[in-house]
Amino acid sequence: MNAMAPLLFKAWRESRGRFLFSAVLLATICVFGVFCRASLMAVFVPDERFVGDPYIGYIYRLIYKGTARGLFTIMAVVLALGGLQRERLQRTAGFTLALPVNRAWLVSAQALLGLTQVAVLSALPVLLLAACSQLAHVAYPLRQMACFGLLWFGSGAVFFAVAFLSAALFQSEYAALAVSFVFMILYPAAVLFPPLSRYPLNLNHIMSGLTMRYFDARTALLVGRPPWTLLVSMMIVAGLLIALAVRISKQRDYS
């Protein structure tokens, strides 16, 4: 653990700019979404089947189904980039690899910090919407926001892990970014067709609840208990992808 702390700090120094920029963007959407709702609700209006609270439907369309959700998935991908491949291009990988720590610890520290950042970003709407809604004298159920936060973290961890593995596989950071974005576009489209469409595999739908049994589209509310089996499955998938990335990084030549 003594060796992990400085490695986490090193990973933070390398990723803090991307993380803080992502947090500011996400926070801006949440804050302006609440306080500028009078004009925005005319744009992000629920469909004719909606019978619930207009504010809840509006926040769902803006945050949990729309702009903020899409931005969050991009953030999760961008936070995974960098590491030893970037240092190789900057000709600093030799110095990092000369540190008296196992190479697997170096990569694991980046993954651990990245997942922590994804968790913070997934919790950010919960905190901001709760505070801003109270100040604006409107209400959004805290339990709903917390459950959406869990869904965001589970799906975001998978997006992060895919990008993290891509960064380990490809020498070019731009190639890893391109592959990750292709995955973001093609994977949700591919699982819409049989036989994959019979299973809850669409990460975008998992995050928003769209077409899921745990979501009621008429009220834009999650119903029942959180889908713990689905959440655990996503974390296992993310863990396996990150473990593979660590294994590849241990064997790769960064000279």
pTM of full prediction above 0.85:
yes
Q: How many domains does the chain have?
A: 1
Give tens-digit pLDDT for 83-119.
656 655 555 555 555 555 677 788 888 999 999 999 9
Q: How confident is the model at residue 222 (pLDDT cuts 50, 70, 90)?
A: very high
Q: How far is CA 210 from CA 64, 84, 90, 151, 156, in A?
A: 10, 38, 43, 12, 16
Give tens-digit pLDDT for 157-185.
999 999 999 988 887 778 888 998 898 88
Query: Which residues lie below 8 Å from residue 239, measured CB to CB, with a gap of 6+?
Result: 161
Region 118-146: mean pLDDT is: 95
- Domain of residue 51 covers 4-251
Question: In this predicted structure, which of 34-48, 80-94, 190-204, 225-239 has the lowest mean pLDDT?
Answer: 80-94
